[in-house]
Amino acid sequence: MKFRTLAVGLGISATALLVVPGSSATASLQPTAVQAGPNRVTKQYLDQRPVWKQCGDKELRTFCTKITVPRDWSKQALGEDIQIAVSKVAPVKGKPSRVVFGNPGGPGGAGLGMAPYLASQKELAKDHLAVGFDPRGTGDSTNVTCEGAPGYTMDARDRDPWNLDLIAEASRLTVPYCERQSRELLPYVNTAQTVQDMDLIRQLLGYDKIDYVGYSGGTWLGAYYQTYFGQHVGRFVLDSNTDFTRPWLDTFIAQPQGFERRFREDFAPWAANYDAQLKLGNSPRLVIRTYERLRAALKKQPAVEEFLDGSVKISYDQNTLDNIVTGDMYTKMDFPSLATDLAFLRELSDAQSKGGARAAQHKVDALPLARQQELVQRATRRTVGITPFGRAAGRPFADDAENATFTAVTCNDTEWPQGREYGDVLSARLGPKYPLLGWGMNENPCFYWDRPQLSMPVPTGKGLPTTLMVQSVHDPATNFSLASSAHSRYAGSRLVTITGEGDHGIYGGVNKCADKIVNTFLTTGKAPDKDTSCKGEGIPAPTAPQPGQYAEGAPLAKIEGFTKAVSGYLHS
């Protein structure tokens, strides 16, 4: 899930957090109409015969296709169609008796890699056809874009009126860029439309029910599929949960506290414990001071350096630093890389302050090309899961398709307060407590969004089979309080809590106990009789970061690697 900001734990609902006098904090721009249920699929879409072609290396055994879906499911007769990219991996032996869909979150994350990822889970691969897809708007599916929209280059902590004006204007201007360049598709990039795309995939594959593994923003998508298509629900696993029973606003208000907790209570003590090796400070307080001092130095004098023989130029300022830190909070496997980068940037900043830009560039030039390539990738990457507006790099084929889809889904699905006052006051309230992300709560196009006339039913879980929810207690992007809140209102759900753990995305290698519970549920249908917990396996000692392959790393990183490996073949 992306970090537009996800932090509950404030003890109050986001909808009741504050109302600014004179603002329209509880009003949307348009009256809404309830999209209460799915639209009946017409013959032209049911009769299509997708042509599957191999995508990626043969060892992945992955086949991909594109299916045709209506731009607007309520107006199928218009013939205004878009394309959805789908992937599948069959068991090595025998015909599968079940099908499992997957979604990596975002919302807006490209998901073709979910098929080979799920097929790499040995227990699951024996009897399941594994299916992934790129949701409408992103990846190899028909894209939306907000290309050219102003980013948030200003410092979110700066409370000068002129800076707040710039943030508000950047947020407001994002809307016309998105609308103008997305060819009238933008209002239809929402969860109500996407779950109908999913169900058409189910029908074309010939299955009556689907099993499902959804991470982060994929928990929102999974809960809404259950709500719209309850009769086709099999075994659903929701991992690293949004509060899908509340508006998106509640989920994002929970994020600053989650990221701050992860940084201060997980990373800082870990780095301090290995100070002899990492040299960031021998106490959590000193580690945090190292970050704050570096941030202040880079704000005062950004380090602009050329990498890879001058082919790439990177400006290290306070925003670049913040993006690196927040991006590495998702998985403890990135803690060593973060520690290494903080130490390097401190040296770079010191060299610049003492010897000028030439001295800093000499520091870069002395690095091996492999290390330079790593720094370029980390400075320009996007984060997995939920991410703040304007903060993440995009992904082909529209360079910003994932970010634009994220913006469209979260702004379209549920109502947002309108106007700048709400965001400015919210950022002023959360910033002092949670400075890593709290100050940036006003960096949000949804406060200016012209929503479609859409009001989706609230997921309740009533009448559904058991839903298995998995959550780590220090998850930065989807705060534990979100899972707890949704679980309390979602009938028939079971919550598996991973104590002593903060990774975002658990199933698939983070915790053996959790993997066993999830695999048992997906392969046999047996869920725990009641809520249960698994003990975290701890944060390992720092080791030199290793170049990752698509089958290595944390679950969401693995999925992203698989997606890169199988994407693009439908364009050749």
Q: How far apart are CA 164 and CA 154, in angstroms?
A: 9
Q: How far apart are CA 437 and CA 4, in angstroms?
A: 9
Place of tokens 């100070």: 275
Q: How far apart are CA 103 and CA 117, in angstroms?
A: 11
For residues 383-409, average pLDDT: 61
The 3-state DSSP class for residue 403 equals: helix
In this predicted structure, the answer to whether residue 383 has a pLDDT above a threshold of 70 is no
Exposure b/e, 202-225, CB count within 10 A at least 16 = b: bebbebeebbbbbbbbbbbbbbbb
In this predicted structure, the answer to whether residue 534 has a pLDDT above a threshold of 50 is yes
The type of residue at 264 is: R
Which of the four pLDDT bands, split at 50, 70 and 90, describes residue 380? confident
Instruction: Quote the pLDDT of residue 378.
Output: 82
Percent of residues in the chain assigned helix, strand, coil, to nearest 5? 45, 15, 40
CB 349, CB 297: distance < 8 Å: yes
CB 483, CB 207: distance < 8 Å: no
Instruction: Quote the pLDDT of residue 29.
Output: 36
Look up residue 422 and give its two tokens.
Answer: 């709400």
CB 331, CB 554: distance < 8 Å: yes
Which of the four pLDDT bands, split at 50, 70 and 90, describes residue 379? confident
CA distances from 400 to 55, 176, 511 (A): 23, 15, 33
Look up residue 99 and give its two tokens.
Answer: 């099908």
Look up residue 294 and give its two tokens.
Answer: 């570096």
Per this entry, what is the length of the chain? 572
Instruction: Quote the pLDDT of residue 6.
Output: 30
The type of residue at 255 is: Q
Q: How far apart are CA 565 and CA 185, in angstroms?
A: 27
Instruction: Quote the pLDDT of residue 376.
Output: 87
In this predicted structure, the answer to whether residue 386 has a pLDDT above a threshold of 80 is no
Tens digit of pLDDT for each residue in 85-109? Answer: 999 999 999 899 999 999 999 999 9
Taking phi over 0 as left and psi of -120 to 50 as alpha, with beta for the rest, 356 belongs to: left
Look up residue 298 and give its two tokens.
Answer: 């880079």
Higher-confidence position of 397 and 350:
350
CA distances from 323 to 168, 326, 379, 444 (A): 20, 5, 8, 16
Tens digit of pLDDT for each residue in 5-63? Answer: 332 222 222 333 333 333 333 333 343 455 666 888 999 999 999 999 999 999 999 99
Instruction: Quote the pLDDT of residue 572.
Output: 55
Tens digit of pLDDT for each residue in 335-363? Answer: 999 999 999 999 999 999 999 999 999 99
Look up residue 199 and give its two tokens.
Answer: 């169900």
Instruction: Quote the pLDDT of residue 394.
Output: 28
Instruction: Quote the pLDDT of residue 8.
Output: 24
In sequence order, which ranges of 262-400 are alpha helices (DSSP H)? 268-273, 275-278, 284-300, 318-327, 335-365, 369-380
For residues 441-468, average pLDDT: 96
CA distances from 446 to 340, 402, 464 (A): 36, 16, 32
Tens digit of pLDDT for each residue in 151-197? Answer: 899 999 999 999 999 999 999 999 999 999 888 999 999 999 999 99
CB 250, CB 258: distance < 8 Å: no
339 CB-side CA count, 13 A: 28
Instruction: Quote the pLDDT of residue 490.
Output: 98
E-assigned strand segments in 105-176? 128-133
Q: Starting at the earlier edge strand, list the strands of the sheet with 63-70.
A: 53-54, 63-70, 81-89, 128-133, 98-103, 210-215, 233-239, 467-472, 493-499, 532-535
Largest CA distance in the chain: 71
CB 281, CB 275: distance < 8 Å: yes
Instruction: Quote the pLDDT of residue 44.
Output: 94
In this predicted structure, the answer to whether residue 290 has a pLDDT above a threshold of 90 is yes
Instruction: Quote the pLDDT of residue 79.
Output: 87
Q: Which fold has domain 1-157+203-258+382-572?
A: Rossmann fold (3.40.50)
Q: Judging by beta carbons within 10 Å of its beta carbon (0-12, 13-18, 19+), is residue 97 exposed, middle or buried? A: exposed
Tally of helices (H runs) and strands (E runs) in the chain: 19, 12
Q: What is the DSSP string of 534-572?
A: EE---PPPP----PPPTTSSSHHHHHHHHHHHHTTGGG-
Q: How far apart are CA 223 and CA 218, in angstroms?
A: 8
CA distances from 359 to 279, 304, 311 (A): 22, 12, 19
Tens digit of pLDDT for each residue in 201-241? Answer: 999 999 999 999 999 999 999 999 999 999 999 999 999 99
Share of the chain above pLDDT 90, in %: 83
Q: How far apart are CA 404 and CA 401, in angstroms?
A: 5
CB 428, CB 45: distance < 8 Å: no
Instruction: Quote the pLDDT of residue 25.
Output: 39
Q: How far apart are CA 193 and CA 519, in angstroms?
A: 30
In this predicted structure, the answer to whether residue 431 has a pLDDT above a threshold of 70 is yes
Query: What average pLDDT does the chain have?
Result: 89
Look up residue 355 and give its two tokens.
Answer: 């010897």
Look up residue 413 and give its two tokens.
Answer: 């699905």
Q: How far apart are CA 488 and CA 469, in angstroms?
A: 11
Place of tokens 């609308």: 179
Share of the chain above pLDDT 70, in %: 89
The 3-state DSSP class for residue 98 equals: strand
Query: What is the DSSP secondary structure assignment for residue 328, as one 8-state letter?
Result: T
Report domain extents, the chain: 1-157+203-258+382-572, 259-380
Which of the four pLDDT bands, split at 50, 70 and 90, describes residue 310? confident
